[in-house]
A and B are shown apart, each in its own frame.
Chain A
Amino acid sequence: MFKVILQSHWSWSKLLLGPGTVAAFALPILAVQEAGSLSDPQLSAWGTAGLLHEMEQWGTWYAALAAALGLAVATGAWGSDHRGGHVYALSLPLERWRYVLLRYGSGVVLLAAPIVFFWLGALLAAAAIELPNGLHAYPTALATRFGLAALVAFSVFFAISAGTARTAGYILVAVGGLLAAKLLLSAAGAAFDPLAFVIDRLTSWPGPLQVFTGRWMLIDV
């Protein structure tokens, strides 16, 4: 059962997963190439600080790619079901929760490829550059974070997609409510921003999106 679900999931996701895997491999290498010439291993004045600055800038792309891959794979997991109104899945002799877990598991397996390739790219990038004294490369830590971020993104979108249209409606209403509250409070001159508060809770520890925030450094002190 898992094999056929994985195959169908792949057929829905391959158009995005393929390029995404290539991008995952290439990003760390591009980051190092951009930050300091690979042919100039002796990074001197302002090169070191500049290197760290570039590393920090590229962190945004890692986080964005992880989120995009998670979304793409989650969309592929439920694409055929959403199109068919879930009739086929519901006609199969399988408990709903078991079916969901099979779909989830296939997504995790599909994400393994870009995560592994990201790790390989990071290892290659770290090996290709001679680091100045005091700086270290963290390819495995970076790849682990990338993997966790991709899985978190996948889990978030997967869970939302697994819900009904009513669930999606609730989420939209909640977001709309936050926006409306923000506007009303702002008009009333209140300092409290409910939208910023919620975003802060989500993106700071122990919120689910905290893994995306902060510094993604392939090379650091």
Chain B
Amino acid sequence: MSDFQVGNGCGQRTEATSSSTGPPVARSSLLLPLLLLVATPIECQTAAEYQVRVDSLRDEWQQRRSEFHSLASALLSDGIDTIKAGPFTILTDEPIADVMKQAVPLAWEAVRETLRSDSMLAAARPIYFPTGGSRPISSSPAVAAGPWIGDSADVEDVVNRIILTVGSEVGTLLDDGTRLWLGANIMSPTVARRSGWSGSYLPSVYVELATSGSAVGRTCFAGDLTACRAALELDPVSDPIAEWYDTQDLRRFIERAGMSRGWGSTEEWIPCVQESDDTACDRLFRARLEGSVLHPVSPMAHQTLAATALQMGGDGAYGRMVQTVAPTVADWIAAAAAAPADSVVARWYSNVMAARPAPTTLTAATGWSALVWIVVLAAIATRSTRWRS
């Protein structure tokens, strides 16, 4: 046990005993958590309470030192490469080290672009990407586990995996409700944008809204931002069926999907489908789908909204996102964006509308390619020979 001498801000000086020796301050970045804990304001406490605190800190330090030693020895013994981009540290096996050296700076840049000043959260602990069999380091709590990467992976693929792993890592800071609403990795839109996927998020959300099977989705598409808020489930919903769908929706769904689900034999079927009895439709729908009703929009739309909030919030947005204890998703979004939720929804709607996908029926490339082939084939035909035999 070592002795700490501290001032407690109450004008008293106490002495605590500790059997452990004081840690060298500059020895390891693992002291950071310890420093953070020490930096917490110390309120007036009794000596006994203070001792409990000190013991707790000491235990924490010992645990971190142990993890550090095991990490260091694992690094030395397993031949693992360390690649850094600023504070961002990636651990990897030798076969993919070269690819990683190219990928890590690119990934870090994308992370910083999305999380901005909160990108340090991504650097809290190193991330290990294995390429071979399991290693002891994989189970070390000092290291975040990334997915296995084959040694033939290309740089872009590796960059995307790093970004998604960062997303998983920082996503653990979100509360369960937020994570459930998000439905996927917070960094998924970033990866989609980088990859230039033709079906990537904003165009897909546009199509989703345009073809929505719910009244609230269609109304949102038409420009009603209140409906968008409801479609995005920013506020708690007491009766999803009533709030998301109208009677036409229910009848059409029952008519088109009910037969395959064996609903034709129910007593509500004929009144609903053939006699336009809305009550019957509602009764049948609730009886069969209550608790598992389709959401108006997919998690993809939620992620794009979150990405919009991060963009609007600028520096510190993600930090606010994880720190805010929000009763509703709307509050959480507003905290991230440092703006009212309606503003975020408006910006989001504007982005979605601007992302209307180009028609696929005929692209310029297809048209020109076809024309060129027509000319080429005609030219080939003119080489038809006289000599038929």
Q: Does B360 contact A (CB under 8 A)?
A: yes
Indicate whether B369 reaches chain A with its CB closer than 8 angstroms: yes
**A134: chain B residues within 8 A (beta carbon):** 209-211, 221
- Distance in angstroms between the alpha carbons of A136 and B313 in the assembled complex: 35
Determine whether the beta carbon of A45 is less than 8 Å from that of B374: no
Give the number of chain A interface residues (Cβ < 8 Å).
50
Q: Are B384 and A44 in contact (CB under 8 A)?
A: no
- What's the Cα separation between A141 and B362 when bound, in Å? 6
Q: A119-161: which have CB < 8 Å to B? A: 132-136, 138, 141-142, 144-145, 148-149, 151-152, 155-156, 158-159
B361 interface hit (Cβ, 8 Å): yes
- In the assembled complex, B69 has its CB within 8 A of some CB on chain A: no
Q: A162-B384, A210-B366 are in contact. Are A155 and B378 (CB under 8 A)?
A: yes
Task: Give complex CA distance A136, B356 in Å.
Answer: 12
Contacts of A86 in B (CB 8 A): 388
Asked if residues B361 and A221 are in contact (CB atoms below 8 Å), the reply is: no
Among residues 202 to 221 in chain A, which have CB atoms less than 8 Å away from a CB atom of chain B?
205-208, 210-211, 214-218, 220-221
Q: Is A90 an interface residue (CB 8 A)?
A: yes
CB-CB under 8 A for A221 and B256, given A45-B215, A159-B381? no
Size band of the interface chain B makes with A:
35 or more
- Interface readout for B97-117 with A: 1 if CB under 8 Å, 0 if not? 000000000000000000000
Using CB atoms, name the residue of chain B closest to A161. Answer: B381
Q: Which of B133-141, B184-192, B246-254, B262-270 contacts A (4 or more CB under 8 A)?
A: B246-254
Kindly name the residue among B222, B248, B362 whose own CB sees the greatest number of chain A CB atoms within 10 A: B362
Question: For the complex, what is the distance from the CA of A205 to the CA of B374, rounded to whole Å?
Answer: 15
Against A, the Cβ 8 Å flags (1 = close, 0 = not) of B348-389 are 000000001101111001110111111001101111111111
- Residues of chain B whose beta carbon lies under 8 Å from any beta carbon of chain A: 206-207, 209-215, 218, 221-222, 245-246, 248-253, 256-257, 356-357, 359-362, 365-367, 369-374, 377-378, 380-389
A48 lies within 8 A of B378 (CB): no
- Chain B, Cβ-Cβ closest to A215: B360
Instruction: Contact check, B370 vs A151: say whether CB atoms are below 8 A apart.
Output: yes
Q: Which 3 pairs of residues, A with B, have the shortest CB-CB distance?
A: A134-B210, A45-B249, A155-B377
List 27 A-B pairs, Cβ < 8 Å: A45-B248, A45-B250, A45-B252, A86-B388, A96-B382, A96-B386, A97-B382, A97-B384, A100-B384, A104-B382, A134-B211, A135-B211, A141-B359, A141-B362, A145-B362, A145-B367, A148-B367, A148-B370, A151-B374, A152-B377, A158-B378, A163-B384, A164-B388, A206-B365, A220-B361, A221-B210, A221-B211
Residues of chain A within 8 A of B384, CB atoms compared: 96-97, 100, 162-163
Name the B residues within 8 Å of A46 (CB-CB).
213, 249, 252-253, 256-257
Which of B214, B221, B361, B382: most chain A Cβ within 10 A?
B361
Q: Are B222 and A133 closer than 8 Å at their CB atoms?
A: yes
Distance to closest chain A CB from B84 (angstroms): 38
Once the chains bind, are B369 and A205 in contact (CB under 8 Å)?
yes
Interface of chain B, main secondary structure: helix
CB contact between A48 and one of B212, B257, B365, B373 (< 8 Å): that residue: B212
Q: Which residues of A contact B245 (CB under 8 A)?
A: 45
A136–B358 CA distance with the chains assembled, in angstroms: 11
A104 to B378, CA, bound (A): 7
In the complex, besides A44-B248, A136-B359, A205-B366, 15 extra interface pairs with C-beta distance below 8 angstroms are A44-B246, A45-B248, A46-B213, A48-B211, A52-B211, A96-B386, A141-B361, A144-B367, A148-B366, A151-B370, A164-B387, A210-B370, A211-B369, A215-B360, A220-B359
Contact of A145 among B214, B250, B361 (CB under 8 A): B361
State how many angstroms separate the Cβ of B132 from the closest Cβ of chain A.
Answer: 23
**Chain A residues in 8 Å Cβ range of B209:** 134
A-chain residues with CB within 8 Å of residue B370 when the two chains form the complex: 148-149, 151-152, 208, 210-211
> With the chains together, A141 CA to B363 CA distance in Å?
9
Q: Determine whether the beta carbon of B371 is less than 8 Å from that of A148.
A: yes
Residues of chain A whose beta carbon lies under 8 Å from any beta carbon of chain B:
44-50, 52, 85-86, 90, 96-97, 100-101, 104, 132-136, 138, 141-142, 144-145, 148-149, 151-152, 155-156, 158-159, 162-164, 205-208, 210-211, 214-218, 220-221
B385 to chain A, nearest CB (A): 6
Select one of A133, A152, A163 contacting B218, CB under 8 A: A133
Nearest CB in chain A to that of B387: its residue = A164
- Whether A48 contacts B214 by the Cβ 8 Å rule is no
Complex-state Cα separation, A221 to B355, whole angstroms: 11
| B contact residues around A155 at 8 Å (CB) | 373-374, 377-378, 381
Contacts of A205 in B (CB 8 A): 365-366, 369
Contact residues in A for B206 (Cβ distance below 8 Å): 221
**With the chains together, A156 CA to B319 CA distance in Å?**
61
Query: In angstroms, how far is the closest chain B Cβ from the Cβ of A211?
Result: 4
- The smallest beta-carbon distance between B260 and chain A, in angstroms, is 13
* Residue picked from A48, A149, A164, most chain B C-beta under 10 Å: A48
Q: Is the CB of B252 within 8 A of A44?
A: yes
Q: Is the CB of B221 within 8 A of A133?
A: yes
Task: Output the residue of B222, B251, B257, B382 with the most chain A CB within 10 A.
Answer: B382
Residue of B nearest to A158 (CB): B381
**Which residues of A are found within 8 Å of B367, using beta-carbon distances?**
144-145, 148, 211
